[in-house]
Structures are given as structure tokens and as C-alpha cells.
Chain A
Amino acid sequence: MNKISKIILLVIVVFCSCSEDILTEDPKSFLTPESFPNNEKDAIAATNAAYSRLHSNARDLYYGFVGTDEAFQGFHNQRAITWFINLNEFDADAASFWQTDYQGIARCNTVIDLVPQVDMEEVLKQRLIAEAKFLRGYYYFNLVRKYGGVPIIDGILSGPDELIGVTRNTEEEVYKLIKQDFEAAAQFLPQTYSQGELGRATKWAAIGLLSKVHMTLKEFDLANELLDQIINSNQFGLFADYNKNFGEVNEHQIFPDINGTLVNEIIWDVQFVKDERGGTMTQQTGSRGRQVGGVNALWGGFENMLPTPELRAMFEPGDLRFAISYVEEVQLNGQTEVLESNRTPGGGPISGKYHNPENSESPIRNNSGNNITILRYSDVLLLKAEALNELGSTELAQQFINLVRERAGISNLENLNQESMKEAIIKERATELSFEGHRRYDLIRWGIYIETMRNTTSTFLQSPRENIQDFHVRLPIPQNEIGVSNGSIVQNPGY
């Protein structure tokens, strides 16, 4: 007995000496969802995260104009220039929009569902929720324009199982949500922010994007009304110098309009800053260039977006916008260097909108601070002109398109009929907004995308010209979604 009790005693001593629970995980280097968002600071951080997908979403720009008559892809990467045309359901680029937009949507849903319960200052709370609704509307607007009707996820998911059997909603349903979100956002968003908060969604951004939704749906009267609100707010104007819309140094600044009044032209843009959250546009739009001074990095880019001869031809003589839209030579160390791509025969000229020539430091690698403008005032004016023209007020429309032309240094349009006004607007939107990500959406919205591409003539566009099909107005749904959903999500026709 004595021996047994000794054993028991020993065992007890050892076992008790370490009864502390070591099996429960207590992570110290990351947060878990149980306690988030918990306070005002968390609520702001959750909202900031909803903006963060705008960064990955900057690829929207590619889709917006590469493979249209405005831009083509150079040969630097020896990738087919049919990018965005010769697509299939496995295409990673086509799938990436879906992925990042839904990531953005999930982050918005977190704010919309959870921030109302956070104990915090009420005005700020309403603003954060409105920002999230604005962003959700924007993400869905991007989705519906690319893919057609998509599944609506408008709340926090309990887990992957909740989506078993999920199907695509109709375009109408998606647009209904988008309108609701923009309308709700417009109601609670402030008209402007302090300097340090610029880039957050404003009331005018919400109204502007909502008007674009109406334009897309051909609800011209509703669009017209909203565009009026922006124009009549007197918050925005056109910079006398078109180029001030571009370049890192000009961001968040007001400049004189042609009357010398200081105005703001940018309504909403995606914010980038070099190193910390750098964008890729400088490199994407740069041509490979010749080696300059033993360094190819100065103007050397990926040639992923180069302006077409078609775009060049659209500029009227004397158009002040041409120089930055179609850069053929650069000044380097006091010398003029003609841009020529050694990869893309006949290529070389680039769009200068994302380059910062005044910045002596090489802006190369996937790291430029240039913001990407989503909506600026000249876009609003051109939309206004278009809405009026569609509503039959061609005469009235003329005055808005001429505001834009006047700043560009080209002559006013006069006495156009509705049809020729429409053509003028189609051309004007290309020359005014080139490389800002609008062309494809515009062409599709006007129903002339396929036709326009088939009518192109430059060799750079040969492959899209010959291969484009009617179904190319929509992107393929990523195969992952069709496979994982076991077919409850249906592919777009043609793919």
C-alpha cells in the first residue's frame, strides 16, 4: 500500500503542477472576428478596409479602355494583344474583378451590418454606413456592367455553406440595389471633407455615380435631374489648364478656371501614395522605350496600355489635350528623345496622364503615387450634354459640350442635330477622358462597341477587330464560381 500511495502522490504532484490550460489558442499577432468592430476606432478601420479594394480594383481601368479603339497592349510581355477579347472562363484577369469587387462588398457589408451596434458618435456612425453603401453601390455597378446580373450578397455570411445553391440575380435586381445604396449614401454623406480625409465618398460623388447608373439604364430624365444638382451646387468647375487634372503634384488642389476662379474639377478619385500604397499606372502606360543614358527605367514601362492611331486621329488640330494624351517625345537632360518601343514595332507614344515628368526620381516598378480619377466635372458636363440630347434638347446640350471644348482650345459646336450631337459627344468623351477608364463602358452603353471595333483600321487592333464576337460585351463568370456552386451559378452565353 505504501508503495502505491507513493506513486499516486508523485503522479498527483506532477500532474497538478501543470494544470494550466495550454490547449486554448490565444493569438497575439492578429485579431479574430469575435470582438470587432467594438468601438469608434474599429468602425473607422472597418470602413477604411472597404475602400482598400479600390486599389486592387484599379485594374478596372484596363477593362475600361484597353482593347477598345482607344488603347492597345504592346508587345513587351509578348502577351496577345487580344487581351480582354480572346477571353475564356479560366482567364485570371477576367476573374480578378469578380474577386476584388466581392471582397469590397464583404467589407462594406461588415460596416453596414455591424457598425449600427457600435457605441459611438451618431453623425459619424451614419456617415460611415453611408460611405459603405456608396462603396457597395460602386462595386456592384462595376460588377453588373462587366458580368450582367450577379448574385447579390448584401449581408455578413455565417459561413460558406450559406451560399449553397446560390444563383445569379437579374440585372434589374442588381441595379435596384445599386440605386438604393447610392440614394441612401447621398442622403448622409457630407458635401466635402477636411484636407486629411479627402478621397472619402461625398454626397456629390454619390449623386454623380447615381446619374451614371441612370445614364447606363437610359433613364435620361432622372440622370439629367441629378446632374443638375451637381452643376448647380457650384462646388466644381473646369481647370483652365487641362493638364492640372493629372500628375501627382496636382492632386487635391484647386486651380483657376478660365475666368480665374479657383475651382475643383475632381469629384472622386482613388487614392494612391508611392511606396505605402502605390499604384501601377505609371508602369502600365509606359512604353518600353529606348535605353536612355544606360537606364531604361525612366520611361520604360510594361506597354500594357498604349494609345492607338485611332485615338490620335480623333483629336482636332489645336486640341490642347493632345500633348498629354499622346506623348511622342520627352525632354531628357535638355535633349529631346523620341519615344520608340524596341518591343512593339511602330509603337512608342504613350499617354502622359500617369507620368510625373517634374519628379526626377524614377517612378518605375509597380509603385506610383498617381491617383485614378473615377469622376471629374468634365465627365459630368458631357453626361449632362448627352442626357439633354437624348431628351431632345440638343440646343441646350450644345452649351455643356462647348464648355469642355472651350477649355480644350477647340471651336464651339453650333447647330448640330440630335444625331450629329451624339456623334460629337462620342468623340468628345474619347478625347476628353482618354485613358481614364470610360471608353468601353461608354461604347457598350451606346450599343456600338462591337461595331466600333470592327471598324478600326490600325494594325495594333487587328486581332480584336477580326475576333470580336457579340457576346464580348460581357466578361465570362469565373470558372471557380461555376464549379464550386455545382452549376447553380450559370455562365454568360458565348463562353
Chain B
Amino acid sequence: MEIKLINVRSLIRKRFLMMIMKAFIFLMCTAVFSLSTTNSFSQEKIVIENDQLITIDQVFRIIKKQTNLDFVYPRSIFKNTPKIQVKKGETKVTELLKVSLSSNNLSFKFTENNTILIEEKAQLKEELKQTTKITGTVMDNNSIPIPGVNILVKGTTTGTQTDFDGNYSLEIENTDNLLVFSYVSYLTQEVAIANRTIINIILKEDIAALDEIVIVGYGSVRKRVLTGSVSSIKAKEVSETPTPRIDDALRGKVSGLQITPTSSAPGAAATVRIRGSNSISANNEPLYVIDGFIGGFSLNDINPQDVESIEVLKDASSTAIYGSRGSNGVILITTKKGKIGKLKVTLDTYTGVQSPRRFLDVLNASQFAEWINEVNGSEVYENPSAFGEGTNWQKEIYQNGALMQNHTLSLSAGNEDSRFFFSLNGFDQDGISMNSSLKRYQIKLNSDHQISEKFKISQSLLISRNRTTPGYNLDDIIGEQDAALQIAGWNPTLPVRDENGDFTFQTESSLLTADNPVARAELLQNIRTQTSIIGTVYGEYEIFDGLKYKLLAGANIRGELRQNYSPSSLFQENNTSGTARVLNSDRNDFLLESTINFNKVYGNHSVSGLLGYTRQTISTFTNASEVRGFVTDAFSFNNLGAATERLSTVSEELEEGLESYLFRANYGYKGKYLFTASARLDGSSVFSKNNKRGLFPSAAIAWRAIEEDFIKELNVFDDLKLRASLGQLGNPGITPGASLSQLSQDGNNYIFGSGQTPAPGIAPNTLGNDNLKWETTTQFDIGLDASFFNNRLNMTIDYYHKETDDLLVQVPLLQLTSFDSALSNFGKVRNTGFELSLNSINLTSDNFEWSTNFNISTNKNEILEIDAPEGFILNNPIGGDFIGVPSGILREGIPLGSFYGLVSEGIWNDQAEIDESGLTGETIFLGGQRYRDVDGNGEIDITDDRQIIGDANAKFFGGMGNNFRYKNFEVYIYLTFVYGNDIFNETQSRLGVAFDNNVPGSYANRWTPTNTNTNIPASNAFQRSLITSNSDMIEDGSFLRLRNLNFAYNIPTEKLSWLSSAKVYIQGTNLLLFDNYSGYDPEINRGTGNLKRGYDNAQDPAIETYTLGLTLNF
């Protein structure tokens, strides 16, 4: 019997261990004797499922399971011994034990009686030797200690592990040796001891990270064997931008993902498109899943600092498991979990100031007065020049230096049995727009508990309350205000307050609000409060090795309250004495999932699979009241009963039930050829009678070429994988009741007699469709993942081809039916594109490090089929309610987002020009806008001379990040760019109408008989009746933006025992913008609808933000 112990730290400890060892051997032997194993015991095979780093305990457990041996041994003997790297595949018991015990200097052998002898190797000799004690701490880039790092003296079997605090201590014989530090998903580092006794190490993350776990739908896989197209974004990148919303945080950071803000107002949603727009009228936003709970939550409720990773599922293979909801792509949000280790407390706090980037140029007061006089042909304003500059309403409403602050305190701790993560968040942002704000308070608790060896439970809970005051804009009860018109376009000749200190108002224009913008921003009360509880809990039981059953229950309960009051102090309420509105909604979303997971390796074959059944019910109840006529403004919206007049009371219940069956199978041969097949059978109550269930299948194949010898021998690649996938996905796009004919009283009541109450009338107001179904997207994807230069350069390229069929559209009906249209499935859209993402470590040394990530994507969109009586559909009327000239077109063969209108060719400068052209038409006069006679009939006609004048789709878009680290300093620079898209400057067309509002500043240089050398038409060319969509309203939307610039300093904390790391940073967001656009910002989208993409009907100026932040780890 030979037992060898090396990793002893003191004699006392050694003796103690000796004692335990002896006990262990005794127990082991007795255990072994009691077993009836065969002679071939030593030859028995053991299957290892995954490449993994495990403890000796776990090795014994594996052997025990697969050979039916019952080992009995004290666990503590192997504490602080290095973990063992085991490779996936089959091995013999002998081999496994040899590998496992050798590094601990224990040896073993099988006796003829099938007993094991464990011998200590020359222990006495060791004790006499001269040893050196080396200690140190291992930390990551963020100075956070890493527990469990494996430390080995190179070429020997001597080693240890770091403890909870990342500290280690090791006795070695030869100080000439190298120490090898290794840990999962970090780059292995070799360090020369060089007579040092303290060696502190920073481990760098392995960006190739082939062993990195990637979260996928209903499970996770190692990146190495991933067959689908999935982009994974880690915590650090997510929290790089100081923002309350992850959609904002992800702008420009993921290939194939185009995120465009809809407003700079606090908490405003962005338009998110994964691989282009599939749909004309249905929702095109991706499906969000948080910790396994599907959809239905507001991104205002997710604190980016709680996020561990975000996975963007892009191809059919990865999204098909979400079936009828998967066609827009899926964004999986995984929140942080407790890690093994003692209590870790992190405080993350930042404060920022936001300012508007630029304003719209409008006429000043005297120019405005002159303009109005000219347009009206009379002296509306006497002596225009006396007005001077007047009021710049944009400057009054949009403030510089709006404050934003965020504080997150998180706690994490755990042992092998139980772990938790807990965080508290408070966020408070003032918008640049007067009186707009977002406040959020959150509690997050995630925990995992290993109840027994086979049974674990896990829970995640988020309680969040956020409150937004939209200020002037996004007045979601009254309806979205036309901010550009009502602020930039408001009458500049009036001051904010008159000589009595009262707010000014106007009554001349029916287009502008009566009250001035500041009065509205100050006096209108508008609050929107959301309270959410999102939680899941699951239990997982390992029925037998490789087969697990999981039952998950989740709930997402959201209450929303909107409160609005227009006080009688506003002129608009003069006659109505105050109007109050309250809306309440209660949304209950319950999910139950039952899944069976199988995972097993048979020699060269690895097989895994998933079967599942899920049910989800969502019900929303909404009620709203509007009353007016208050004796006093004191009640605001808090005493609706005090009003004298009830305007409206409504309530509505919407219910939706979903039932699904899930299936997925993976097969791998030698880790070289990988196959995945998945499907979801989805049933939903909102689907029509004849289409209650749909099947959404997919398949993928991948070839890890790097496993082939001939590729390895090229010595070019460190990894090379080719992937291809094909599948079908759905987009439900149908709201509850949409497939049913609906009868209602809406518009069907009538009055009889002198009664004031309508007599109820009931009639069908919408026509149902028994065949209504989801939109179906068929997507093909081919991709390549490669790594070069010792994994320092990683590349992913994808090409995709998507066709979306059965588009949900309102198909026009004969009005003879009494209906205008019915929701039907008709039409087809195609999206194709390339995506490239690169990660590289450009330079790395102890003191300096530079890494880059870059992504670029293209998407080409084309309408293949639409249903339109005339072959095209004109949409997106511009110019406000009275004009309504269509400005967009849908037609086969062109992309969604095509702008349509007349082609401007300057202005008519002299009469000779007009006479020479021989053209006729309303628009032809001196100083009039000159349009191209597209049909060549000699007449300029706003119907016949239109053509496609622009395209909202970008040629390419992407982003590039650079990280620099020098000693304790870090610099992060992120650039985003979009190229080749057009913007329809609807703001310009809205403001630029000769009515009562202020107009663009360029109009000061308008054509007059004395000012003929100009591009700006004469005032009479801006009459409402002449306003039409034209190419002058189209502008180039390309831009390059400095999205983030971050300087950080890691404060040395060696001398502060209570602090493990500290970082202070200053960050700028949206600091620089290179573009050709004349509006507030080229990166803008009004609303999230597909048809309005590329339209800028400005709400708020874009903002730039400076932030000062501090992160402390205790």
C-alpha cells in the first residue's frame, strides 16, 4: 500500500489528513470487499458525457453510477485538491482513476481480489525536502476574485485550487518551475515563479470560449456543438451603456439586429428588428424570454445590471422551438445567479447628465410675423421686425443637464447545496423634455437549491415598479401629440408668460394647441405606473442518469395605472373646468411547462433530446374613465366622483390560451458531425376555428471541420465549424377576437325623441375569418464559425434567406358587403442578408491589452406578393388630418419601406423657364416647386407623376467596439453606423405647411420676386392644397456615431481588506455624430410599426449623456 500526500500545508494538517486517509482506506476496502464485482472490473468502461472539470468526489460518483459500486470515503480528504479535467467520451476505470489520483500523488492498484490498494508515494522523503511556500490571489479583469482556479506546477503533479476569496497557497520544491493557472472559459496562463513567493494573477476571459455555455430555448449547449445561429452578449457589454432598457443597451452590438430608438423620452421603446421586417401589419418585434418566461413584460422592468447574458436567436433552428411566436427571432434574457463562494456584495452606481444634441431650425418671431403676413396677404402682424427673436419653444421645453441616476446593490453567495443572487435597484431619470421622467424600483431574487443528489429546485423572482411621466409627449391617454408642430412650430411671437405672469395662449390657429407648450408641459398631469411581478420556479428530477424531468411554473402579473389631468388653468379647459382620465389594467399571464430532457453519450455517439408540453393563459382586464367639470383643480385625478360630467367609461376583457408540444433531438458523431431537429406544435385560442394548431419544424446540421486532421494540419484554424439550418416559424399577429365577427354598439346607436340617451343599436362592425392563421416564415441559414491565431481572432459569418408567407393584411372588400376590409392571410415578403462578426485580441501583455469586436450586417427586403386591387397600396398619409397625401407605396418587387411621391427639381425661377417647359398644372407658377413630368404628358399631376423616391432600408449597418487596458486604466470606445438608408423627413412636411404654425428656418430665404436665387419656393407654394409627398422630403439617413466612450480606473484595493475591488469610470454616450440629416437625429423611427419605418415625425431631440460611475465589490 502506497499513499502519497503532497498538498499539505502544515504538519498538523498532514497528521489529520493521514488519519482520515487511513479511515478512508479502511472504509474503501471494506466497501470493495462487499461488492461482487467481476474480474474485468478494471476493464469496465466509463462514459463521460461532457468535457468537464470535476472534483475527485465527482469522479468517484461517476464510477459508482456506471459500475454500481458503492464507494464509501470521507469527502474532506480531497478538499483543496486540484480538479481533474476529464474529456468527453469513453474511458476505462483504470485510466480514469489514474488520471484522477495522480495529480494528488495518490496511487492505486487493483488486486487479484478486485480490491484497490492506494499507496502513499515516498511521503517521508518529501518531508525532508526543502519547500517554498507560494501564495497569491487570482482575479478576473474586473478585479473580482475567482474561486476554484486550478493551479499546477508545470510538468509535475503538484497543484492546488483557489479558495472562495481567490486565494491560494502552494508549497513547491523547485522555484525554477512554471505555474499553470486554468479555469473554465478563461485563457490558461503559464507564469514563471522566478523566486517569487507572492504571485497574483489576472485571468483573461477566453473569447473563443468554445466551452462557453450558450443559452438556447429550453436548455443550454456548449458553443462548440451549437448548430444554430445565436449571438451571445455578456453582462459586461450589456451594462456598458447607462440606460434603463436593454434594447437601448444593445444598439449596434449584435450582427443582424437593428435597433432604432423611437424617442429619447425616458423609457421609450425602440424598434427592434432581427434580420429585417417580415411583416406588413403584424408585430415584428422579437419574442423576449426572461429566465424561461415567455413574453408579455416591459423592458422597463429589466435592470441591465441584473443580466448575466443575452442570447439573440436568429435562425430557424434556434427559434423553431418557440413555434408560432418565433419568426421575428427570440431574445433570451438570463439574469444573474448565485455563485459558489462566500458573500459577495457589489455596489454599482452612476449619475449622468443628459442634454439635447440639436434643435430644429425654425423662423424667429419677426421672420414668422413677416411670413404669416405674406401667406395671409394681409397685415396680421403689424411691424414684424418689432418681434425680434421671440420665443424659441424648443429651448423652453428641452433642458440641458437633465439628471439620471442608477444604483444597484447586489448580493450573491452560496455553497454546493444552495446559492442565491439578490439585487436592489433604484433608477431615476429626468428627460430632457420638461417634466418627463422615469423612476424605477426593483427587487430581484434568484436561487438554486440542490435538495438531493437527484432533485434540485430553482427560482427567479422580479418585483418591479416603474413610473413614467411623459411630460409634453407620448401623452398616451389623449393620444400621441404632434410634438414637432406643437413645440418647434408653436407661435414664436408670444412669450411664455404675459405681463401678469400668466401663461400665454393662442386662439387663431386650429392646428396649434391653444395653450403654449410650456403651459402644457407644466400644467398637464400625466403619470403612468406599472407594477410587475415576474417569477418562475422549477423542480428538476433526475429520473435516471441522463434523463431529467423538469416542471416549471411561472407567472407574470402586471398592473398598469395611467392617470391624467388637464386642469382648468389651461385655456383649453376654460369651458370644461378640468378633465380627468384614469385607466387601469390588470394582466395575468401564467405558464406551466413540463419537459423531459435526455442526454447521453454512447461511445462516439452523443444523443440528447427534449420533449415538452406547455400551457400559457393570458388575460387582461382594462377599464378607463374620463370625466370633466371640477369645482376645483385640487382633486386632480384623485376624485373622479367630484366631476359634473361623465365623458366615457369603458372596460374590456381579453383572454388568450396557448397549448404547445415541444420536441428537439440532437445527435453528434465524434463531436464532428452534429445534427439538430426541433419542432413545436402550437395551439392558440386566437387562431381561427379552422386553424387552431400549427406545426413549426426545423433541422440543422453542423460540421466541425477542425476535428478533421487535414484541417488541423493546415495550422490556420483553431476552430472551424460550418452550419446550415432550415425551418418554419410563425408570427401569430392576431389579437384575441380578431378571427371572429364582432357585433357591438360602436357607432350603431341612435337617438329617438328628445331623449339625451342613445337607444342601443347592435350590428356587426367587423367581419370575421374562419381561416385566419399566423404568418409563416421559412428561413434558411448557412454559417461559418472560425478562430485563428491561437483563438485570438474569432469570426462568425452567416447568410440567410427568409420568406414570409400568408401575411396578415386587411384585404379590401367590396363595400357592398358593408365592410371595408377583413383581416386575411395574403402576401409574401422576402429578406436576405449577410452578417459578419469579429472578435479579436489585438495586443495582450501584462500591462497592456487591446481587443476589438466588430459586426456588420446587410438585409435586402422585397415584397413578393400583395393583395391590392390596383396592384399597389398607397399608405402613410402626410401633412396632417386635412391633407393626407399618401407618401409610401407597397408593390410587388419593391422593398417594404419605399417612399413615393413627386420628384423635385428645384423651383420655377423665371417665366421663360415655365413657358419653355410647356408644362401645365396647379404647381406651376413663379417661385413654385418644380416637379418632374414623370409620365411625360405635359401636365404635372400629383397622381400620375409620382414614383418611388426613397427606401428606408439600410444597405448595411453595424458597430465596432475597442477595449484598451493599460495597467489599471481601461478605455472603451463603441461606434455604431448605418449606411444607405433614406429618411422621410415628415417633420419638415408637417411644419412646412403655410398655415398658422412656425415653419423651417430655411423659409426665410424663400423665393420672392426680388430673391430669385434660392432653392426655397415662394410662400404660396406651401399652401395646404399644394402639399404633396416629394423628393425634397427625403434625406440621407447614413451616419456614424460615437455611441460609447468610457474611461475607467481600477482603484488598487490591496491595502483595504474590506474591499475586494473598486472601479471608477466616466462615460459619454452619443457624443459624436457624423451625418447629413437636417432633423433631430437620423437614428430615429416613429413608432414600432413596419409601415412607418424611416419616417421622422419628430418627438424629441436626441440626447447626449455624460455619466460618472462607481463599482465596488466587497
Within B875-908, the residues touching A (CB, 8 Å) are 882
Q: In the complex, which residues of chain B have a beta carbon less than 8 angstroms from the beta carbon of A47?
A: 761
Q: A294 interface residue, CB < 8 Å from B?
A: yes
Q: A272 interface residue, CB < 8 Å from B?
A: yes
The answer on a CB contact under 8 Å between A273 and B751 is yes
Q: In the complex, which residues of chain B have a beta carbon less than 8 angstroms from the beta carbon of A99?
A: 815, 820
Q: In the complex, which residues of chain B have a beta carbon less than 8 angstroms from the beta carbon of A23?
A: 657, 659, 683-685, 687, 692-693
**In the complex, residue of chain B having the shortest beta-carbon distance to the beta carbon of A105:** B818
The answer on a CB contact under 8 Å between B812 and A480 is yes
With A51-B761, A153-B816, A160-B817 already in contact, the answer to whether A7 and B549 are too (CB < 8 A) is: yes
Q: In the complex, which residues of chain A have a beta carbon less than 8 angstroms from the beta carbon of B613?
A: 14-15
The answer on a CB contact under 8 Å between A46 and B762 is yes
Within B738-773, the residues touching A (CB, 8 Å) are 739-745, 747-764, 767-768
The answer on a CB contact under 8 Å between B651 and A29 is yes
Type the 1/0 row for A18-34, where 1 means its CB is closer than 8 Å to any CB of B.
Answer: 10001111111111110
With A49-B761, A296-B507 already in contact, the answer to whether A78 and B816 are too (CB < 8 A) is: no
Q: B654 interface residue, CB < 8 Å from A?
A: yes
Within A1-47, the residues touching B (CB, 8 Å) are 3, 6-7, 10-11, 14-15, 18, 22-33, 36-37, 42, 44-47
The answer on a CB contact under 8 Å between A52 and B750 is yes
Interface-facing stretch out of A170-178, A190-198, A210-218, A439-447: A190-198
Q: A357 interface residue, CB < 8 Å from B?
A: no
Q: A429 interface residue, CB < 8 Å from B?
A: no
Contact partner, B737, options A30, A276, A481, Cβ 8 Å: A30
Q: A80 interface residue, CB < 8 Å from B?
A: yes
With A22-B685, A49-B761, A198-B752 already in contact, the answer to whether A77 and B1024 are too (CB < 8 A) is: yes
The answer on a CB contact under 8 Å between A36 and B762 is yes
Q: Report the interface size for chain B: residues with CB under 8 A from the other chain.
A: 78
Q: A479 interface residue, CB < 8 Å from B?
A: yes
CB distance from A337 to the nearest CB of B (A): 16
Type the 1/0 row for A103-120, where 1 means its CB is closer than 8 Å to any CB of B.
Answer: 101110010000000000
Q: In the complex, which residues of chain B have a beta carbon less than 8 angstroms from the beta carbon of A474?
A: none
Give Cα distance in the complex from A85 to B754, angstroms: 37
Q: A485 interface residue, CB < 8 Å from B?
A: yes
Give Cα distance in the complex from A110 to B574, angstroms: 45
Q: In the complex, which residues of chain A have a beta carbon less than 8 angstroms from the beta carbon of B865?
A: none
Give Cα distance in the complex from A311 to B749, angstroms: 36
**In the complex, residue of chain A having the shortest beta-carbon distance to the beta carbon of B622:** A29
The answer on a CB contact under 8 Å between B617 and A478 is no
Q: B575 interface residue, CB < 8 Å from A?
A: yes
CB distance from A362 to the nearest CB of B (A): 7
Q: In the complex, which residues of chain B have a beta carbon less than 8 angstroms from the beta carbon of A479?
A: 869-870
With A22-B617, A160-B822 already in contact, the answer to whether A166 and B748 are too (CB < 8 A) is: no
Q: A199 interface residue, CB < 8 Å from B?
A: yes
Within A266-308, the residues touching B (CB, 8 Å) are 271-273, 276-277, 291, 294-297
Q: In the complex, which residues of chain A have a beta carbon less than 8 angstroms from the beta carbon of B740?
A: 25, 27, 32
Q: A483 interface residue, CB < 8 Å from B?
A: yes
Give Cα distance in the complex from A489 to B869, angstroms: 13
Q: B736 interface residue, CB < 8 Å from A?
A: yes
Q: A416 interface residue, CB < 8 Å from B?
A: no
Q: A206 interface residue, CB < 8 Å from B?
A: no
CB distance from A26 to the nearest CB of B (A): 7
Give Cα distance in the complex from A6 to B943, angstroms: 72
CB distance from A95 to the nearest CB of B (A): 8
Q: In the complex, which residues of chain B have a beta carbon less than 8 angstroms from the beta carbon of A103?
A: 818
Q: B813 interface residue, CB < 8 Å from A?
A: yes
**In the complex, residue of chain A having the shortest beta-carbon distance to the beta carbon of B746:** A30
Contact partner, B767, options A6, A160, A197, Cβ 8 Å: A160
Within B631-675, the residues touching A (CB, 8 Å) are 651-655, 657-659
**In the complex, residue of chain A having the shortest beta-carbon distance to the beta carbon of B380:** A342
Contact partner, A198, options B547, B654, B753, B882, Cβ 8 Å: B753
Give Cα distance in the complex from A6 to B1024, angstroms: 76
Q: A381 interface residue, CB < 8 Å from B?
A: no
Give Cα distance in the complex from A163 to B763, angstroms: 20
The answer on a CB contact under 8 Å between B818 and A107 is yes
The answer on a CB contact under 8 Å between A481 and B815 is yes
The answer on a CB contact under 8 Å between B594 and A14 is yes
Contact partner, B752, options A46, A79, A102, A197, Cβ 8 Å: A197
CB distance from B302 to the nearest CB of A (A): 28
Contact partner, A28, options B653, B687, B752, B869, Cβ 8 Å: B653
Give Cα distance in the complex from A443 to B817, angstroms: 32
Give Cα distance in the complex from A361 to B748, angstroms: 27
**In the complex, residue of chain A having the shortest beta-carbon distance to the beta carbon of B616:** A22
Type the 1/0 row for B802-823, where 1 means its CB is closer than 8 Å to any CB of A.
Answer: 0000000000111111111010
Q: In the complex, which residues of chain B have a beta carbon less than 8 angstroms from the beta carbon of A44?
A: 759
Q: B59 interface residue, CB < 8 Å from A?
A: no
Q: A484 interface residue, CB < 8 Å from B?
A: yes
Give Cα distance in the complex from A297 to B574, angstroms: 12
Q: B710 interface residue, CB < 8 Å from A?
A: no
Q: In the complex, which residues of chain A have a beta carbon less than 8 angstroms from the beta carbon of B745?
A: 45
The answer on a CB contact under 8 Å between A33 and B764 is yes
CB distance from B681 to the nearest CB of A (A): 12
The answer on a CB contact under 8 Å between A48 and B818 is no
Within B798-851, the residues touching A (CB, 8 Å) are 812-820, 822
Contact partner, A49, options B737, B756, B763, Cβ 8 Å: B763
Q: A220 interface residue, CB < 8 Å from B?
A: no
Q: In the complex, which residues of chain B have a beta carbon less than 8 angstroms from the beta carbon of A489?
A: 814
Q: B1023 interface residue, CB < 8 Å from A?
A: yes
The answer on a CB contact under 8 Å between B615 and A199 is no
Q: In the complex, which residues of chain A have a beta carbon less than 8 angstroms from the beta carbon of B592?
A: 14, 18
Contact partner, A272, options B594, B651, B751, B822, Cβ 8 Å: B751
The answer on a CB contact under 8 Å between A48 and B749 is yes
**In the complex, residue of chain A having the shortest beta-carbon distance to the beta carbon of B657:** A22
Q: In the complex, which residues of chain A have a beta carbon less than 8 angstroms from the beta carbon of B748?
A: 48-49, 52, 107
Q: In the complex, which residues of chain A have a beta carbon less than 8 angstroms from the beta carbon of B254?
A: none
The answer on a CB contact under 8 Å between A163 and B817 is yes
Give Cα distance in the complex from A194 to B684, angstroms: 51
Contact partner, A276, options B543, B615, B742, B756, Cβ 8 Å: B756
Contact partner, B1025, options A50, A78, A251, A362, Cβ 8 Å: A78
**In the complex, residue of chain B having the shortest beta-carbon distance to the beta carbon of A297:** B507
Give Cα distance in the complex from A160 to B815, angstroms: 10
Within A39-96, the residues touching B (CB, 8 Å) are 42, 44-52, 54-56, 77-80, 90, 95
Q: In the complex, which residues of chain B have a beta carbon less than 8 angstroms from the beta carbon of A200?
A: 752
Of the listed residues A48, A51, A295, A483, the one surrounded by the most CB atoms of chain B closer than 10 A to its CB is A48
Q: In the complex, which residues of chain A have a beta carbon less than 8 angstroms from the beta carbon of B1024?
A: 77-78
The answer on a CB contact under 8 Å between B736 and A25 is yes
**In the complex, residue of chain A having the shortest beta-carbon distance to the beta carbon of B684:** A23
Q: B726 interface residue, CB < 8 Å from A?
A: no
Q: A98 interface residue, CB < 8 Å from B?
A: yes
Contact partner, B760, options A30, A45, A77, A194, Cβ 8 Å: A45
The answer on a CB contact under 8 Å between B1025 and A199 is no
Q: A157 interface residue, CB < 8 Å from B?
A: yes
Q: A252 interface residue, CB < 8 Å from B?
A: yes
**Can you name 14 A-B residue pairings with CB atoms under 8 Å?**
A11-B549, A15-B613, A22-B685, A25-B686, A27-B742, A49-B748, A52-B749, A79-B882, A102-B817, A106-B818, A160-B814, A296-B507, A481-B815, A483-B868
Interface set of B (CB-CB < 8 Å, partner A): 376, 378, 507-508, 543-544, 547, 549, 551, 575, 592, 594, 596, 613, 615, 617, 651-655, 657-659, 683-687, 692-693, 736-737, 739-745, 747-764, 767-768, 812-820, 822, 868-870, 882, 943, 1023-1025
Interface set of A (CB-CB < 8 Å, partner B): 3, 6-7, 10-11, 14-15, 18, 22-33, 36-37, 42, 44-52, 54-56, 77-80, 90, 95, 98-99, 102-103, 105-107, 110, 151, 153, 157, 160, 163, 166, 193-200, 251-252, 271-273, 276-277, 291, 294-297, 342, 361-362, 478-485, 489
Would you list the 4 A-B pairs with minimal beta carbon distance, nearest first? A483-B869, A22-B657, A106-B818, A49-B761
Known A54-B750, A78-B1024, A485-B814; further 4 A-B contacts with Cβ < 8 A: A10-B549, A22-B657, A48-B748, A271-B751
